[in-house]
Amino acid sequence: MSPAIRIQGVDKRFGSVHAVRSMDLEVNEGEFFALLGPNGAGKTTLINLLAGLSRPDAGHLFVQEFDVVRQYREARRRLGVVPQELVFDPFFTVRETLEIQSGYFGLPRNDDWIDELLMHLQLSDKAGTNMRALSGGMKRRVLVAQALVHRPPVIVLDEPTAGVDVELRQSLWKFIQKLNREGHTILLTTHYLEEVEALCERVAILKQGRLMALDTLKNLMSAHRAHRFEDVFIALMHNAGEQDVVA
Amino acid sequence: MTGFQTLLYKEVLRFWKVSLQTLLAPLVSTLLYLLVFSHVMAGHTDIYPSITYAAFLVPGLVMMSMLQNAFANSSSSLVQSRVTGNLVFLLLTPLTPAEIFLGYVLASMLRGLLVGSVVCLTALSFFSLPFREPLWVAGFALLATFMSGALGVLAGLWAEKFDQMAAWQNFVILPLTFLSGAFYSLHSLPPVWAVVSRFNPFFYMTDGFRYGFLGHSDVPPLESLTIVAVTCLALSWGTMALLRCGWRLRT
Ligand SMILES: Nc1ncnc2c1ncn2[C@@H]1O[C@H](COP(=O)(O)OP(=O)(O)OP(=O)(O)O)[C@@H](O)[C@H]1O
Ligand SMILES: [Mg+2]
């Protein structure tokens, strides 16, 4: 089967910062995949490149085999992105926000799905509330709903649980797992490694724009003779430092 | 609704929700101009034979309010979305550059035309005004709001902060609309300024629009229409090219 996400020889610089370096990465259909790395590793940059919010200096990115630059319409229909930044449009209510996002994808009669999203994300009683009047965690959940409103087969979540309370974090992951079981491919970034252990099979670990590791959790743990994934992560980050000195 | 219609709807809803600021405020300020200037200038010689200064002034002020409001709509919407970051929601969608361009421009036209018609109707209750060539009036109103909305998109793409947008307002739009001949005829200007005015596209809009009401103009209306239409085409082409290559949007 062709991969849900294919990243081929991608390079991205911001002035002197080399944010993504000759990156090759594939995420398979139906995977629950984590993109990990310390602050500034290039995770968000890679997601922005995939979403077409940013253009690569070299290389190509594909969503279900559609080039995100040349076939952007097809690629974007298949991709839902929860951005890392808490952004919202203060002119509209929660429901208006979701209806507008749905409409952008040409899906006008989408009320049932919008209601279901609101229910799963525990926003039903906030549907008529202006975005400005929501708490940070609620705004984050609206971002998740917005990313899912067009039922994309490939879902990218950039730190979706930052600032979300424990209970809601659990219900959010339950919902995302349900979507994953129904066949959606999930790519997530997070700094909570216990979430990764609980949810993901395979991970990619980035540092300074480079791919440091790409394997299943199980293989990485046994290769490092570790009991906790955190130890693997820390070991990899230290190795990376040494490599940099050599390079 | 298609994606394009949704963007148009969203843009209209946006200014509609704050209509006190986007529709009523410009109406009040334009009517104030009208009352003050028509009163001050009442005794002066008429610009065109048998046409009062007020009748000369009304079309100019209506055009000025349309231009300023159409520009304000697309430019402020874009710059607000960019500064607050919610522009990503649009950038993540499959909308084409042409759809994005037209969505913003058509909503701006609607706001400009709404303000313009209300100013016009209110002015008619104070002053009598001929309405000689309605088709010219409509044609210039549509082209002028289109061009101003498109210019707003261009400015919105360029400006990354509110103060940069304020610079556009104060150093481009305000002088060009004030010096578009809303208050005077080209023939009453010193020769140098009369020549300079001819490089201002807003002058042709005002002059042609006024022709539609009065049947008098400084420049033949067909000439004005051609110049305005060509400017609109060039501006659309350029702005869409920038949207297509993601200029300042997809970095
Ligand atoms: N628009 C930009 N202009 C300049 N530099 C940028 C820009 N975006 C990202 N960078 C730089 O690129 C590098 C990677 O940033 P990125 O946001 O991708 O990191 P990240 O892995 O998502 O980090 P975090 O975990 O903190 O979210 C950083 O050094 C950052 O400063
Ligand atoms: Mg990030």
Inside any domain, residue B28: yes
Q: Do A106 and B17 touch (CB under 8 A)?
A: no
Please name the residue that has the structure tokens 């979507």: A179
pLDDT beyond 90 at B44: no
pLDDT averaged over chain A?
94
What per-residue confidence (pLDDT) applies to A246?
Answer: 37
Inside any domain, residue B156: yes
* Binding-face residues of B in 136-195 toward A, CB within 8 A: none
Q: Which of A87, A96, A104 sits opposite B95 (nearest CB)?
A: A104
Inside any domain, residue B48: no
Taking the centre of ligand 1 as the mean of its atom positions, its distance from the CA of residue A92, in whole angstroms, is 29
Give A108-158 pLDDT, tens digit per residue.
Answer: 789 999 999 999 999 999 999 999 999 999 999 999 999 999 999 999 999
- Using a CB-CB distance cutoff of 8 angstroms, which residues of chain A are in contact with residue B2? 106
Closest ligand 1 atom to residue A38 Cα is 25
Q: Which of B7, B89, B96 sits opposite A146 (nearest CB)?
A: B89
pLDDT beyond 50 at A220: yes
Token digits of residue B218: 């400084």
Closest ligand 1 atom to residue A45 Cα is 18
Give the residue whose CA is nearest to atom 29 of ligand 1.
Answer: A40
Inside any domain, residue B194: yes
- Using a CB-CB distance cutoff of 8 angstroms, which residues of chain A are in contact with residue B7? 104
CA distance B59 to chain A (A): 33
Closest ligand 1 atom to residue A209 Cα is 14
> Ligand 1 pocket: which of A17, A39, A86, A159 to mutate (most atoms <8 Å of CB)?
A17
Taking the centre of ligand 1 as the mean of its atom positions, its distance from the CA of residue A245, in whole angstroms, is 21
pLDDT beyond 60 at A244: no
Q: Is B81 on the interface with A (CB under 8 A)?
A: yes
Q: Is A55 on the interface with B (CB under 8 A)?
A: yes
Inside any domain, residue B249: no
Inside any domain, residue B251: no
Please state the pTM of the whole predicted model.
Answer: 0.95
Give A44-65 pLDDT, tens digit per residue.
Answer: 999 999 999 999 999 999 999 9
Inside any domain, residue B47: no
Taking the centre of ligand 1 as the mean of its atom positions, its distance from the CA of residue A46, in whole angstroms, is 9
Q: How confident is the model at residue B186 (pLDDT cuts 50, 70, 90)?
A: confident
The β-bridge relationship of strands A17-27 and A5-14 is antiparallel
Taking the centre of ligand 1 as the mean of its atom positions, its distance from the CA of residue A43, in whole angstroms, is 8
Interface predicted TM-score of the whole assembly (ipTM), two decimals:
0.94
Three-state secondary structure along chain A? CCCCEEEEEEEEEECCEEEEEEEEEEECCCCEEEEECCCCCCHHHHHHHHHCCCCCCEEEEEECCEECCCCHHHHHHCEEEECCCCCCCCCCEHHHHHHHHHHHCCCCCCHHHHHHHHHHCCCHHHCCCEHHHCCHHHHHHHHHHHHHCCCCCEEEEECCCCCCCHHHHHHHHHHHHHHHHCCCEEEEECCCHHHHHHHCCEEEEEECCEEEEEEEHHHHHHHCCCCCHHHHHHHHHHHHHHHHHHC
Distance from C-alpha of B230 to C-alpha of B225, rounded to nearest angstrom: 8
How many other CB atoms are found less than 10 A from the CB of residue A134? 19
What per-residue confidence (pLDDT) applies to B45?
Answer: 67
Question: In total, how many domains does chain B have?
Answer: 1
Give B97-138 pLDDT, tens digit per residue.
Answer: 999 999 999 999 999 999 999 999 999 988 889 999 999 999
pLDDT beyond 90 at B239: yes
* Binding-face residues of A in 61-120 toward B, CB within 8 A: 72-74, 76-77, 79, 81, 83, 85, 87-92, 96, 100-101, 103-106, 108
Give A79-112 pLDDT, tens digit per residue.
Answer: 999 999 999 999 999 999 999 999 999 997 899 9
Q: Do A106 and B81 touch (CB under 8 A)?
A: no
Give the residue whose CA is nearest to atom 8 of ligand 1.
Answer: A45
What per-residue confidence (pLDDT) applies to A98?
Answer: 98
Q: Is B135 on the interface with A (CB under 8 A)?
A: no
- Using a CB-CB distance cutoff of 8 angstroms, which residues of chain B are in contact with residue A106? 1-3, 6
Closest ligand 1 atom to residue A206 Cα is 21
pLDDT beyond 80 at A240: no
Inside any domain, residue B116: yes
Give the residue whose CA is nearest to atom 11 of ligand 1.
Answer: A19
Give the residue whose CA is nearest to atom 5 of ligand 1.
Answer: A14
Distance from C-alpha of A124 to C-alpha of A126, rounded to nearest angstrom: 5
- The whole domain housing B226 covers 3-41+53-244
Taking the centre of ligand 2 as the mean of its atom positions, its distance from the CA of residue A189, in whole angstroms, is 8
CA distance B94 to chain A (A): 4
What per-residue confidence (pLDDT) applies to B165?
Answer: 95
Q: Do A108 and B1 touch (CB under 8 A)?
A: yes
> Ligand 1 pocket: which of A10, A13, A14, A159 to mutate (most atoms <8 Å of CB)?
A14
- Using a CB-CB distance cutoff of 8 angstroms, which residues of chain B are in contact with residue A84? none
pLDDT beyond 50 at A243: no
